[in-house]
A and B are shown apart, each in its own frame.
Chain A
Amino acid sequence: MSILSVRNLSKSFGGLTANRNISLDIEDGELVGVIGPNGSGKTTLFNQISGFTKPTSGTVTFAGKNITGLRPDRVCAAGLSRTFQIVRVFLQLTVLQNVMVGALLRHHRRADAERVAWSVLERVDLADKARARGDELTLATRKRVELARALATGPRLLLLDEVMSGLTQAEAQRAIALLRELREDVTIIMIEHVMEILMPISDRVVVLVEGEKLVEGPPAEISTDRRVIIAYLGEKFLANGQ
């Protein structure tokens, strides 16, 4: 049975259609990549699944439960956790405290939450930064803190919105290694701009173009798909033309 099932999801902002009739099934244990040019509706899709944007039409079913239009905190409590494209680390709090906010969802006592937070920090290799404050961290570390925080809520499904963008080559390599480990016990959907990152780690790639699902399939197929190449080349052409 699929853990997440999206049916005919559409979202319009006034006259602009950000998502049109998107359907998607994610199996338990999968790592699925979502790519698409800027403005193709990737983040809108995440926002609708995670409860930040109410769909215009369509349904989202998570672990057999209809979560369409549920508040973000309820979605998170149901076991679906997300990160943000533009990092939203609590800047005044330490790394440990950031992660504790997540851990407190399922561990109401502070001492328990702290224990869980430490174990998550160990896992994502951030324990040495536990006492640093959010505003002292580099972008790569902030992204990692967001990931740790989301993990601390004990999710079954993680939605990662461009956790790699802005990272150096070495940092991206570390992040990929981490995702490989994480996918052992959590299902992951990740938005990325760069196909090279998704290629080696994802089971399946979904391509969005202009708010619609263009194609989905194994990464090797996607990277040679004519329609995908055209969609991306078009973007490059525009970028060069400016």
Chain B
Amino acid sequence: MTSQISTSGAGRGDTGPAPTARLASAQLDTGGTRRELLPWVIFLASFGMFPVLFTSTYAHNLGVLVCLTAIMALGWNLLGGFAGQISLGHALFFGIGAYAAAVGGDILEVNPWLSIIAGMVLAVILSSLIGIPIFRLRGHYFAITTIAIAEIALIVFLNWSWVGGATGLSIPLQPDSLVNLQWSGRQRWEYYYLTLGIVIAILIATRFILRSRIGYYLIAIREDQAAAAALGVPVTRYKQFAFGFSAAAVALAGGLFAQYVLFVDPRSTFGLIISVNIIIAAVIGGVRSMWGPIIGAVVFYTLTEFTRLQFGGTGNALNLVFYGLLVMAIAAFEPNGLVGLGARFRRLMLHWRSR
């Protein structure tokens, strides 16, 4: 079997209408290994070389944030992009992960890896408990409920004195090592390659999920829940799986973030802006593609930094205006995001060449 995208050049004419680059269907398709290789090579080369080419603290810091955002957007996308359950409250899991690391470091004084894993487990358990009632809701109701739950968590943590209330918690300094998950160097090599490694692991996991029964079932649920159920898909169980996966990924990013900045407070971890940033990255890149969230995370930070450099401190709000416009444009013209735009462009080139 060749992949769907490759048919846009070769197998024209089998099916009547000219085959188009089919993002959703292409994700599920078999083989096409050569096609699949190119994005991997580009991704590994650019991300692998980035901190070598740009050695400033600033660039390294940016790289770490891009990787953390990519981890979250990839996780979110399995639920939001593939299973079609739009959560606007994933800051909840970011906060859980971040606070698990902080509580583990500052209060319980346990190894950060242990804390982060505990945070992920907690996030998965929480997602299953939340999932029971909210997966009865669909569409907007689901989305709105997820915001509400994250906001409740924010208020709880603002008022919970054991975890520092509104002031938050600091993670004490430890000697530099992988075990302690702390490095004090001016550059951020270690953090960068660690987070990049996790991005790669999640990408590989996503790829295997999409090409297994789970991937087919998740997309079937997004396309038509009733039809999926009629074909034997246990809808709630698969939604729970996607929810748990995304919760774990976002909690992992939260834990790493806390360990990176060594400080957490409720607003910067449970805040609505965290949920929104995850979605912006996924949506800009393209929610129906495995690579969308990666591209989205890169573009997100490039735009943020660009506006900050161009317009100084006040640029902070201006980047949000940009994202707003960009997300609106994507929703209106190319729901498959930049990846979809790329596919369109490629089709156009093929069309021109064949004339």
Q: Which residues of A contact B (CB under 8 A)?
A: 50, 52, 71-73, 76-77, 81-84, 88-94, 97, 100-102, 104-105, 108-111, 113-114, 128-133, 136, 149-150, 152-153
B4 and A131 within 8 A (CB): yes
Residues of B within 8 A of A100 (CB): 216
* Residue B11 at the chain A interface, CB threshold 8 Å: yes
* Residue B232 at the chain A interface, CB threshold 8 Å: yes
- B232 in complex: contacting residue of A88, A102, A133, CB < 8 Å: A102
Q: List 22 A-B contacts (CB under 8 A).
A: A52-B226, A72-B229, A73-B232, A83-B230, A84-B226, A84-B230, A88-B224, A88-B227, A89-B227, A90-B219, A90-B227, A92-B25, A93-B25, A94-B22, A97-B25, A101-B233, A110-B213, A129-B15, A129-B16, A131-B4, A132-B15, A136-B17
* Residue B316 at the chain A interface, CB threshold 8 Å: no
Residues of A within 8 A of B29 (CB): 97
- A90 in complex: contacting residue of B20, B223, B229, CB < 8 Å: B223
- A153 in complex: contacting residue of B30, B226, B232, CB < 8 Å: B232
Bound form: Cα–Cα A133–B18 in Å: 11
- In the complex, what residue of chain B is closest to A90 when comparing beta carbons? B223
Residues of B within 8 A of A71 (CB): 229, 234
A101 and B220 within 8 A (CB): yes
- B229 in complex: contacting residue of A73, A111, A130, CB < 8 Å: A73
- CB-CB under 8 A for A133 and B25, given A50-B230, A82-B230: yes
- In the complex, what residue of chain B is closest to A78 when comparing beta carbons? B232
A108 and B25 within 8 A (CB): no
Residues of B within 8 A of A101 (CB): 216-217, 220, 228, 231, 233
Instruction: Give B303 Cβ to nearest chain A Cβ, in Å.
Output: 29
B17 and A110 within 8 A (CB): no
- In the complex, what residue of chain B is closest to A154 when comparing beta carbons? B232
B220 and A90 within 8 A (CB): yes
Bound form: Cα–Cα A70–B235 in Å: 14
Is the interface on chain B under 10, 10 to 19, 20 to 34, or 35 or more residues? 35 or more
Residues of B within 8 A of A97 (CB): 25, 28-29, 216
Residues of A within 8 A of B11 (CB): 131
* Residue B207 at the chain A interface, CB threshold 8 Å: no
B223 and A92 within 8 A (CB): yes
As a 0/1 sequence over residues 9 to 52 of chain B, the CB contacts with chain A under 8 angstroms (1 = contact) are 00100111101101011001110000000000000000000000
- CB-CB under 8 A for A94 and B4, given A77-B232, A133-B25: yes
Instruction: Give B297 Cβ to nearest chain A Cβ, in Å.
Output: 24
Bound form: Cα–Cα A128–B16 in Å: 9
* Residue B7 at the chain A interface, CB threshold 8 Å: yes
A114 and B25 within 8 A (CB): no
- B16 in complex: contacting residue of A104, A136, A149, CB < 8 Å: A136
Residues of B within 8 A of A104 (CB): 213, 216-217
- A131 in complex: contacting residue of B14, B213, B231, B234, CB < 8 Å: B14
Bound form: Cα–Cα A13–B31 in Å: 49
Instruction: Give A210 Cβ to nearest chain B Cβ, in Å.
Output: 26
* Residue B211 at the chain A interface, CB threshold 8 Å: yes
Instruction: Give B136 Cβ to nearest chain A Cβ, in Å.
Output: 13
B227 and A133 within 8 A (CB): no
- A110 in complex: contacting residue of B14, B20, B211, B219, CB < 8 Å: B211
Bound form: Cα–Cα A88–B233 in Å: 15
Residues of A within 8 A of B224 (CB): 88, 90
Ranked nearest first, the 7 interchain pairs of A and B with the lowest CB-CB distance are A105-B232, A88-B227, A90-B223, A76-B232, A92-B24, A72-B229, A132-B15
* Residue B56 at the chain A interface, CB threshold 8 Å: no
Residues of A within 8 A of B14 (CB): 128, 131
* Residue B212 at the chain A interface, CB threshold 8 Å: yes
Bound form: Cα–Cα A129–B19 in Å: 11
Bound form: Cα–Cα A76–B24 in Å: 25
- In the complex, what residue of chain A is closest to B23 when comparing beta carbons? A92
Residues of A within 8 A of B220 (CB): 90, 93, 101
Residues of B within 8 A of A90 (CB): 219-220, 223-224, 227
- A102 in complex: contacting residue of B16, B25, B223, B231, CB < 8 Å: B231
Instruction: Give B201 Cβ to nearest chain A Cβ, in Å.
Output: 22
- In the complex, what residue of chain B is closest to A79 when comparing beta carbons? B232
Instruction: Give B129 Cβ to nearest chain A Cβ, in Å.
Output: 21
Residues of A within 8 A of B17 (CB): 132, 136
B7 and A131 within 8 A (CB): yes
What 15 additional pairs, Cβ within 8 angstroms, besides A131-B4, A131-B19? A72-B229, A73-B229, A81-B231, A84-B227, A84-B230, A93-B24, A97-B28, A105-B233, A110-B30, A110-B213, A111-B30, A113-B213, A128-B14, A131-B14, A132-B15
- In the complex, what residue of chain B is closest to A95 when comparing beta carbons? B15
Instruction: Give B240 Cβ to nearest chain A Cβ, in Å.
Output: 14
Residues of B within 8 A of A129 (CB): 15-16
Considering only residues 225-258 of chain B, those with a C-beta below 8 Å from chain A are: 226-235
- A91 in complex: contacting residue of B28, B223, B235, CB < 8 Å: B223
Bound form: Cα–Cα A2–B94 in Å: 55
B231 and A93 within 8 A (CB): no
Bound form: Cα–Cα A154–B64 in Å: 49
Bound form: Cα–Cα A218–B19 in Å: 47
Bound form: Cα–Cα A130–B212 in Å: 19
Bound form: Cα–Cα A192–B212 in Å: 37
Bound form: Cα–Cα A114–B213 in Å: 11
